[in-house]
Amino acid sequence: MAKFKKHQGKFGTAPVFFTAISTILGAIMFLRFGYAVGHTGFLGTLGIIFLAHLVTIPTGFAIAEIATNQRVRGGGEYYIISRSFGINVGAAIGLALYLSQAISVAFYLIAFAEAFKPVLEWLNQTYGLHITDMRVISVPAVLLLSLLMLLKGANLGMSALYVVVSVLAVSLLSFFLGAPTEAAQNMVFHLNAKVQNHDSFFTVFAIVFPAFTGMTAGVGLSGDLRNPGKSIPIGTLSATVSGMIIYIFIAWKLAVSATPEELSSIQLIMAKISIWPPIIPIGLAAATISSAIGSILVAPRTLQALAADKVLPSLHLNRWLAAGKGKNNEPFHATLVTGSIALVIVLLGNVDSVARIISMFFMVTYGAICLISFLQHFAADPAYRPTFHSRWYISLLGFVLTLFLMFKMDPLFAFLALAVMTIIYYSITSTRNEREGLSKIFQGVIFQISRNLQIFLQKVEKDFDSWRPSVICISRDFFKRPAAFDLLAWVAHRSGFGTYIHLIDGYLSKETNQKAREELNRIIKIAEVSKSNVYVDTMISPSFTSAVAQAIQLPSVSGKEINTILFEFFRDHEEGLQEILDNVSLVKAIEYDLCILSTSERGFGVHANIHIWLGPGDLINTSLMILLGYVIMGHPIWKHATMKITAVIPEPEMAKYQDRLIKMIKDGRLPVSPHNIELLEQKPEVSMKEIINLRSQDDDLIMIGLRYEQLKQLGPEVFRGYDQVGNILFVHAAREQKLDNDD
């Protein structure tokens, strides 16, 4: 990755403040704020100011908070967003932010040219010229400003910034000291005076909102600051609050100094009020050129930071744009590109539509910054330790209002802005798979939600009678036979929860721990490809018994207590069977349901049917087997499967047993047709194993009831003799499960 040259920033807090305040007090203040007062009245304008600052102040707080938690390097807002949301999301917002900043240079310079209208009118009248195209001013202004930035960089930018801010201050002072217009001399001031047929509140809001969007401009200088963690919070917040106060006084001065009709119709109404009218066009020129300087200082640094993170499609282009010049790492090439974009926009002449989407991109940026702050509060990450603290509800308010105002201002451009960034995000994600994406945004949030839900579930667990499988499987054979993992994945797909413990034989050491990490990563990748909902982990243990003892005491990450344990062995060689039998008494002692999967070369076949076999002593196991069958059939791979139930019982009990089965299935609303329930008479000369081998040769999963008495008497023989069928799941229920929710 291309890196910025390490250098000590030379600027303090003042450049952050002046860059932000000069952008806030810009073209809109001179050209359109009178229109706002004329169409909404003084009270309505106050509403616009306060509503806008309900977005900008939370954003300022969020920036201050984030800036005091991490060193904000070159790229300003982009750096904050990308290091909080990940490169993919940060790049999507960052590219849109850069285009907004670059086009803003052109927007401000077109407004700058408007300040020279009186000069051009005088030239036209005096010398008989016919110059009406304001590009004669704006195009040379773009070229000159770009050239100065390329030659002198931020040093000249700061020097010029101080000059224009001084001129801006003088123009405002002249305005505030001015007298009312002639028409307003005898006017009675009304708080809500406005023109007839006035524009709606949100129409006016959309036009003047860009006046308040400069509060983050100083953040773009982060790479050139000695102490960004101090300068960004103080400079940004002081500029935001100062701008709000100045706008309130401007609105009051306009309301008491001119009639609503004058405010609405005269674009430079401030000149008619000022004690020296020429200072207002000069102030407009100063405000717009200062905003342009602020934008052309910030935009190239955003582009330079984007290129340093290699988010552009060309490696050569990334290197070229990331390269800095001089000891201060001035973004020479990025400035050249920014100036070229601004020149193209100026030559097009009309940026009204572009200006609308610029506002949207800035709003998205503000919303993203507020969302970062809110999520960090919610996630409670110990690494998030800002020295300046906002409040989560302030950040949430900023985020919600940002979205609300975007769609109130212009729904079409709001959708367009979000669509453009979505396209950029997926384009970057498709070519930069190693980068962090949306998962980073909610990682801490998901942790908090999961933690709280687990605690909640643990507290209320005793109050629920309904059963759902929470199964833990212990096996060392994942890479040999994934059958147990597959079964667990089917159980955990929708209605249950599965934990798969991969056993590694040995004692805990540096070597075995490293092996456990490597194998866990392999299993996670395989589980991700299979799209399973199984939680996987590894365990190092010197024996299977100690592993079982540890595993059954583990708290379930689902928040529900584990209620079922799953073992698996390979039928052809009875691999691991004796180990399983040696630990059955341990499972019995803790009253877990027990499932033992006997796997074969055939596997699970084509996933077309599940056959449950019931014997005379399987009364307690019946409901658990039916429930497990139902849960497994909830997985897409089994969605076309059918469930069959066959009971082998003595002839006198057949009618009673059948009625009980049908009632159980009907009350439990289970997808088992009565036609798929079959009762066979138990005959002494024919064993149940023979019947199963004969009638279940084509079944894909067989379930057979298991009783501890059988295991105690017969041991491994319980599992032998099923040579003609596929995989078998032996099921023992610690207690009978209810199939319905009625009391």
What is the reported pLDDT for 566? 94
- What is d(CA 221, CA 17) in angstroms, rounded to the nearest whole number? 11
pLDDT tens for residues 364-404? 888 888 888 888 787 766 667 777 778 889 999 999 999 99
CB-hemisphere CA count at 13 Å for 468? 14
Residue 452 pLDDT > 90 = no
Pull the structure tokens for residue 33: 């704020």
Residue 259 pLDDT > 90 = yes
What is the reported pLDDT for 148? 78
**Among 452-461, 465-474, 509-518, the least confident range:** 452-461
Pull the structure tokens for residue 40: 């909404």
**Among 149-163, 535-549, 666-680, the least confident range:** 149-163
pLDDT tens for residues 128-145? 777 767 778 888 888 888
- What is d(CA 720, CA 715) in angstroms, rounded to the nearest whole number? 10
pLDDT tens for residues 506-541? 998 999 999 999 999 998 888 887 778 888 999 999
Pull the structure tokens for residue 439: 């998962």
What is the reported pLDDT for 3? 45
What is the reported pLDDT for 458? 60
pLDDT tens for residues 78-106? 877 777 767 777 888 788 788 878 888 88
Pull the structure tokens for residue 535: 């939680």
- What is d(CA 705, CA 189) in angstroms, rounded to the nearest whole number? 90
Higher pLDDT, 428 or 201: 201
What is the reported pLDDT for 1? 39
Backbone angles phi, psi at 477, to 5 degrees: -110, 25
Residue 709 pLDDT > 80 = yes
Unique residue bearing structure tokens 């060689």 = 573
Residue-range domains of the chain with CATH: 13-439 (1.20.1740.10), 464-597 (3.40.50.620), 600-743 (3.40.50.620)
* Portion of the chain with pLDDT greater than 70, in percent: 85
Spatial neighbors of 199 by CB under 8 A, at least 6 apart, are: 39
The angle formed by the CA atoms of residues 183, 172 and 274, to the nearest 5 degrees, is 30
Residue 459 pLDDT > 70 = no
pLDDT tens for residues 591-633? 889 999 999 888 898 999 999 998 877 778 888 888 888 889 8
What is the reported pLDDT for 5? 46
What is the reported pLDDT for 245? 94
Residue 292 pLDDT > 70 = yes
What is the reported pLDDT for 383? 63
Pull the structure tokens for residue 505: 């034989």
Query: For all residues of the chain together, what is the average pLDDT?
Result: 82
Pull the structure tokens for residue 112: 């700058």
Pull the structure tokens for residue 277: 């009218």
What is the reported pLDDT for 743? 43
Spatial neighbors of 308 by CB under 8 A, at least 6 apart, are: 1, 2, 3, 4, 74, 75, 318, 322
- What is d(CA 617, CA 242) in angstroms, rounded to the nearest whole number? 83
Pull the structure tokens for residue 230: 């101090």
Residue 4 pLDDT > 50 = no
Centre a 10 Å sphere on the Cβ of residue 438 and count the other Cβ atoms it contains.
13
Query: In the predicted model, what is the mean pLDDT of residues 719-732?
Result: 92
The angle formed by the CA atoms of residues 555, 558 and 563, to the nearest 5 degrees, is 60
Unique residue bearing structure tokens 């934008």 = 295
**Among 42-46, 322-326, 665-669, the least confident range:** 665-669
Residue 308 pLDDT > 50 = yes
Residue 198 burial (C-beta neighbours within 10 Å; 0-12, 13-18, 19+) = middle
Higher pLDDT, 741 or 280: 280
* Portion of the chain with pLDDT greater than 90, in percent: 24
What is the reported pLDDT for 518? 92
Residue 461 pLDDT > 60 = no
DSSP β-ladder status, 728-732 and 593-599: antiparallel
